[in-house]
Amino acid sequence: MKKRLIYSLFLLFTLFTLGSMLTIVYIYRTTFSLRTLIALHRVEIIRQNLVISAQTAQTHLYTIGTPYDKGFDEVVRHVVNLDSSVHICLGCHHTPEMTARLTEMNRLAEDYKDAFSNFITTSGNQRQAERFRMEAIGIGNTFLNKSQQMAFIANNRLNDETLTVMQQISNSRIILLVTLVLSFCIALVIAVTMTRQITGPVNELVGATRHIKSGELGYIIPFKGKGEFGELIDSFNDMSLTLKDSNEKILRYLHNLSDLYSITITFHSVSSMTDIFKELSEGALELTGAQQSGILLREENGDFFSHMYPACGIPEETIYSMRIKAPVIEDLYNSSNGRALILNDDVQGSPTSAIDAQLGVRNVMFVWVGHKGRPIGAMRVANKKTGDFTEEDARLLAILGNNFSAALENVRLWESLKLQMKELKNTQEQLVQAAKFAAIGELASNVAHEINNPLTSILGYAQLMREDEDMNNIRRDLDIIEKESLRARDIVNSLLEFARKKPLKMGLVDINKVLESVIELIGVQTKDSRIRIAADWGNIPPIKGDEDQLKQVFLNLASNAVFAMGKSGTLGIKTFVLGDFVNIQVTDTGKGIPEELMGRIFEPFFTTKNEKGTGLGLSISYKIVQSHNGLFEVESAAGMGSRFTVKLPIGDKTLKVRPISISPSANLPIES
Amino acid sequence: MIRKTILAFFLVLLVTANAVAGEKTLLIGLVPEENIFRLIEKNLPLAAYIQKKTGIKVQFTIEPRYGDIIDKFKTKQMDGAFFNAFTGFMALSKLGVAPLVRPISPGGLVTSQSVIFVRKGSGIRSLSDMKGKRAVFVDNASASYIYLLYQLHHLGFKDTGQFFSGYYFTGNNEETIYAVLDGMADVGLAKSRYFEQLAAQDPLISEMLSVLARSGDLPDIVLCLRKDFPAGTKALLERTLLNMRYDPDGIQALRILRYSGFEKAKASDFSAMAKLAAAAGINISNYRYTR
Ligand SMILES: Nc1ncnc2c1ncn2[C@@H]1O[C@H](COP(=O)(O)OP(=O)(O)O)[C@@H](O)[C@H]1O
Ligand SMILES: [Mg+2]
């Protein structure tokens, strides 16, 4: 094809070049002839000039009475022109005949000049002058005659030359036309043949690709091409077949994969063992096209592998009697390096051969489920509906097995998670209670002498009453006793209230009120110190939460603050709304938290207070705030004080950011 | 005052423009010493050379009679002319022309003489023998004719017509020589330059003709310019013509004229001619120089 194309183009090119060359030659020749023609015309012009000059001169000779008049210069010019015209003609290349004629003309011109000049200048001899005049007239006439003859010859020549040129022009036109037509025809023939030879196979190919595009994979082009197209068609057919094969393979894989996927996906969504095994067995049937399937697992004591859950395609009574000794399976597993056991024609080697016969097993396959290098189970499929079990079947089952072991693990993990969660919950509750007790303990030591005070005054007044007889005094003492007693009772009540283990009870909480009761409790603690309490109540909405738990949080924050300040300082308590949160800020001017400890203060049992602290306060507080979907913010600088901010969401806002934000801060309110 | 200045300025401009325009084409007169057509043809290369060198176009004009150049110099608005000795001498006094250059012949000659020649079989041996014979002359304004008058004057004759039995003018040196050779006349007068040229070409001339008398040296041909010719152009023209003989193109044009170059001409070149005319008893103011 390629060769043919090149040959054709070469032929076309040669023809075109030949034609062009011929045309060029003709054009060249024509141009040459044209040049001659132009030269001839030019000569004719010269000749005509000459004739005009001669005629003018002759006219003068005939007409002028005196040999000279006004137009003398003009006559002189014409004669000179005449002469120079002859000279110009002589200067060109001519035929010998023409040269002879021109030489004759030249001689005549010279004689003419002599006679003419003499006629003009002679005076005092009329006869002589007249003789010159007649001579000049005679020569002039001869000259004109000759030039006329030459004109005739020249005209003939001109005619001939013109005819030649015309002929040449028409010749070159014909050649050009023939070349063009011929080139066109040949090009057309080449184009048509080529197109036929190319488009035929190309159309076939295009048609074939359409077939393939429309899904008709494996379409074979019936056309038998030659040369490159033959090869192209052959390789196209090959490609088509390969495409068909691969497509079928891919489809098969896809089918298997989707089966596998649908099977395994159910594993992870079911959490009951029975369900998993049911899915697994059915999946194995579907994937391999077997009639029986089941999973044998290692029994509790580890001696046997047996069906512990339902299997498919095996009668109910046989399922649980199928047991394999553990060493048999271990041997098979280890000797094959975990590879599946496939028995297609001879089922003698099957570890379940006894029952196999009973179940009419033709072929059987065992795929091992291993965990940490040990077989933990075996998937058994038997009696493939179509033909033999293949490695492919084994591979698919192995994938199923892997998923199965993962699912098994999931179930196991889920169960243990549930257990752990339960334990954790218990522990947590204990911790909260413990923290509470600890807090009470802390408070108790501080509060003890508070109760002691009213008791002391009660005792004192009681003794006074015993000796006093004035009823008025007694009544006044009784009033005091009553008042002090009530105070003591309140203190004890509030302690009891706090210490009591109560279930979580959610309700709308007025935070400001809670904080007021916290201040009341703390106030008792700070009565004798120079600690000032500065409260700044914001206009805040009620919060959904457990009032007691929140109180515990703020109480802990406040008592931490008081402890950090020691004998003097300011405890700031402030509430305000910022964004979607109610903010509760507890500020102190105490010793602050060193930067390196900042990350640890929320750890349970982390304390810097030795036996005076439990290290539970902040960790419990954190848990409580978290359970209220709130946030904790801590800012502190050693020696300057700390600011703890609790942010509780207004309404049903859920947590979006991490619940603690800790930052060392330099701009804390400092009271000196 | 200002108006006058402006006017003067424009006048100057006009004159200059005219002068520049006038310089474009020079009209140069020729005296028909030989065949008028050949004379013009011979001079055309010179014109071409001048134009090539200076940009000035040169045109030639010729009159059938020598003396016409004096009469028509002004009417034809000639810028100058190649005068022969006598017309030059007349132009100097009548027109006040200024001599520019004159040619040098290959022999180094810048002068020519007038010769009186006779046919050998005519029996004329002395000038007085010429009496009653037929004569032929070039022109009554040619130097040779003045020389004849001088000789006749010496012989005691005033009228050419009385002395010769018949005479006529050919207006052409060569033709005059051939007229004597052909027997049209017994006596002829011509410029020695032509006589010698023809004699060199044609042995018949020395064979058949003999020179009877010869004048002293007279200027051959002199290019004179009109007296008001612009000085700049004049200098340019003079320089070009004087340097012609050093330029291959110039030499080419000179060769056709049978010159070997040009040399500077001056008014005193005509003093020999003036002397001859005076000796011939010619009064220049009333001499009939046209025929
Ligand atoms: N306002 C505060 N100023 C300085 N240190 C504080 C402050 N609040 C808490 N801490 C530090 O955090 C530790 C943990 O506090 P917490 O969990 O309440 O336990 P405890 O109060 O029993 O030590 C404290 O021991 C103390 O070092
Ligand atoms: Mg604490």
**What are the sequence ranges of the domains in chain A?**
2-188, 225-256, 278-406, 502-664
Inter-axis angle of helices A547-565 and A471-499, to 10 degrees?
A: 100
Q: Is residue B99 part of a domain?
A: yes
Query: How far from B278 is each of B40, B149, B157, CA to CA, in Å?
Result: 32, 11, 15
In a domain, B237, yes or no: yes
Asked whether residue B290 is domain-assigned, the answer is no
Residues of A with CB under 8 A from a CB of B: 67-68, 72-73, 76, 79-80, 83-84, 113-114, 116-118, 120-125, 128
Return all residues near A492 (Cβ < 8 A) that are at least 6 apart. Answer: A451
Q: What is the pTM assigned to this prediction?
A: 0.48
What is the Cβ-side half-sphere exposure of residue A425, based on CA atoms within 13 angstroms? Answer: 6
Give A73's contacts in chain B (Cβ within 8 Å).
61-62
Establish if B291 belongs to a structural domain. Answer: no
In SS3 terms, A130-173 reads as HHHHHHHHHHHHHHHHHHHHHHHHHHHHHHHHHHHHHHHHHHHH
Indicate the CATH number of A502-664 among 3.30.565.10, 3.40.50.11810, 3.20.20.450, 3.40.190.10: 3.30.565.10
What the block records as the tokens of A185 is: 């025809």
> Along the 291 residues of chain B, how does pLDDT read in single tens digits?
444 444 344 444 444 444 444 447 999 999 999 999 999 999 999 999 999 999 999 999 998 899 999 989 998 899 999 999 999 999 999 999 999 999 998 888 788 999 999 999 888 999 999 999 999 999 999 999 999 999 999 999 888 888 999 999 999 999 999 999 999 999 999 999 999 999 999 999 999 999 999 999 999 999 999 999 999 999 999 999 999 999 999 999 999 999 999 999 999 999 999 999 999 999 888 898 887
* Rounded Cα distance, A347 and A356, in Å: 8
Q: Which residues in chain A have their CB less than 8 angstroms from residue B291's CB?
A: 123-124
| Distance, CA of B88 to CA of B289 (rounded, Å) | 12
Ligand 1 center–CA A280 separation, angstroms:
56
Ligand number nearest to the C-alpha of A588: 1
Same domain, B119 and B54: no
Please write the tens of the pLDDT for every residue from B155-196. 998 888 889 999 999 999 999 999 999 999 999 999 999 999
Ligand 1 atom with minimal separation from the A607 CA: 25
Query: Left (φ > 0), alpha (ψ -120 to 50) or beta: where does A146 sit?
Result: alpha
User: For the domain that residue B185 is a member of, what is the CATH number?
Assistant: 3.40.190.10
Contact A584, A537 (CB under 8 A): no
- According to the model, what pLDDT value does residue B5 have? 40
pLDDT at site A65:
55
Q: Both B8 and B86 in a single domain?
A: yes
Q: What is the pLDDT of residue A442?
A: 62
Chain A positions touching B175 (Cβ under 8 A) are 118, 121-122
Position B9 scores a pLDDT of 44
In this structure, the answer to whether residues B140 and B194 fall within a common structural domain is yes
Q: Measured between alpha carbons, how far is residue B107 from residues B110, B221, B265 in Å?
A: 9, 15, 18
CA distance A39 to A248: 89
**A223 CB near ligand 1 (under 6 Å):** no
Query: How far away is chain B from the Cα of A122, in angstroms, using its nearest Cα?
Result: 4
Ligand 1 centre to CA of A282 (Å) is 61
What's the distance, Cα to Cα, between the start and end of chain B in Å?
55
Residue B214: name the closest of B123, B259, B147, B132 by CA. Answer: B147
Angle at Cα B173 formed by Cα B169 and Cα B179, nearest 5°?
A: 60
Collapse the DSSP code of B205 into the 3-class scheme (helix H, G, I; strand E, B; otherwise coil) and give the result.
helix
Considering the domain architecture, whether residues B125 and B30 belong to the same structural domain is answered as no
- Which H helix or E strand runs over A499? helix A471-499
**Are B35 and B167 part of one and the same domain?**
no
Q: Is residue B283 part of a domain?
A: no
Q: Which residue type, as a one-letter code, is found at position A552?
A: Q
Q: Is A228 helix (H, G, I), strand (E, B) or coil?
A: helix
Pairing of strands A660-664, A641-649: unpaired
Pick from A113, A114, A121: which is nearest to B171 by CB? A121
Instruction: Return the closest-CA partner of residue A612 out of A450, A446, A431, A499.
Output: A446
Number of neighbouring beta carbons within 10 Å of residue A302? 8
Decide if A121 and B64 are in contact by the 8 Å CB cutoff: yes
Reported as a single tens digit per residue, the pLDDT across A239-287 is: 888 888 888 888 887 887 777 777 777 766 666 677 778 888 888 888 8
Q: DSSP letter string over A52-109?
A: HHHHHHHHHHHH-SSS--TTHHHHHHHHHHHHHHHHHHHHS---HHHHHHHHHHHHHH
B15 and B103 in one domain?
yes
The CATH architecture to which A278-406 belongs is 2-Layer Sandwich (3.30)
* Same domain membership, residue B28 and residue B165: no
The predicted pLDDT at position A664 comes to 57
Give the model's pLDDT for residue B102: 94
Which backbone phi and psi does B5 adopt, to 5 degrees? -60, -45
- Same domain for B103 and B10, yes or no, is yes
Task: Test B168 with A80 for CB contact under 8 angstroms.
Answer: no
Are B150 and B192 in contact by the 8 Å Cβ rule? The answer is no
In short, whether A208's Cβ falls inside 6 Å of ligand 1 is no
Nearest residue on chain A to B134, alpha-carbon basis: A125
Boundaries of domain holding B200: 114-214
Boundary residue ending a domain (B168, B188, B214):
B214
Question: Residue A499: its pLDDT value, please?
Answer: 60
Alpha carbon distance A324, A141 (integer Å): 151
* Ligand 2 (single-atom ion) residues, CB below 5 Å: A 560, 617
| Nearest atom in ligand 1 to A612's CA | 22
CB atoms within 10 A of CB B178: 20
What ipTM describes this predicted complex? 0.86
Residue B259 domain-assigned (yes or no): yes
pLDDT digits (tens, 9 = 90+) for A589-640: 999 999 889 888 988 778 898 767 777 788 888 888 988 889 999 999 888 8
Are B63 and B133 within one domain?
no
Residue B279 counted as domain residue: no
Looking from the CA of residue A588, the nearest atom of ligand 1 is 1
Residues in chain B with CB shorter than 8 Å from the CB of A114 are 35
Asked whether A615 lines ligand 1 (CB < 6 A), one says yes
Q: Is residue B249 part of a domain?
A: yes
Ligand 1 contact via A585 beta carbon (within 6 Å): no
| Residues A588, A663 contacting (CB under 8 angstroms) | no
Residue A612 CB neighbours (<10 A): 11
Nearest Cα of chain A lies from the Cα of B291 at a distance, in angstroms, of 8
User: Is B255 found in the same domain as B199?
Assistant: no
Residue type, A107: R
| Residue segments in chain A with a per-residue pLDDT below the cut of 50 | 67, 653-658, 666, 669-672
Instruction: Give the count of beta carbons closer than 10 Å to the beta carbon of residue A305.
Output: 26
Single-letter code of the amino acid located at A143: F
* Ligand 1 near A555 CB (within 6 A): no
CB contact under 8 A, A76 and B62: yes
Contacts of B172 in chain A (CB under 8 A): 117-118, 121
Q: What phi and psi, each to the nearest 5 degrees, are found at residue A97?
A: -60, -45
CA nearest to A362, candidates A341, A388, A340? A388
At A346, is the secondary structure helix, strand, or coil? coil
The residue in chain B having the minimum alpha-carbon distance to the alpha carbon of residue A124 is B168
Question: Among B172, B198, B214, where does a domain finish?
Answer: B214
**Who among A72, A116, A128 is closest to B168 (CB)?**
A128
B92 and B224, same domain (yes or no): yes
At A664, is the secondary structure helix, strand, or coil? strand
Q: Tell me which architecture the domain covering A2-188 has in CATH.
A: Up-down Bundle (1.20)
- Whether residue B228 sits in one domain with residue B181: no
Q: Per the CB < 8 Å rule, is B64 touching A113?
A: no
Pairwise CA distance, residues B79 & B234, whole Å: 10
Q: Does A117 contact B32 at a Cβ distance shorter than 8 Å?
A: yes
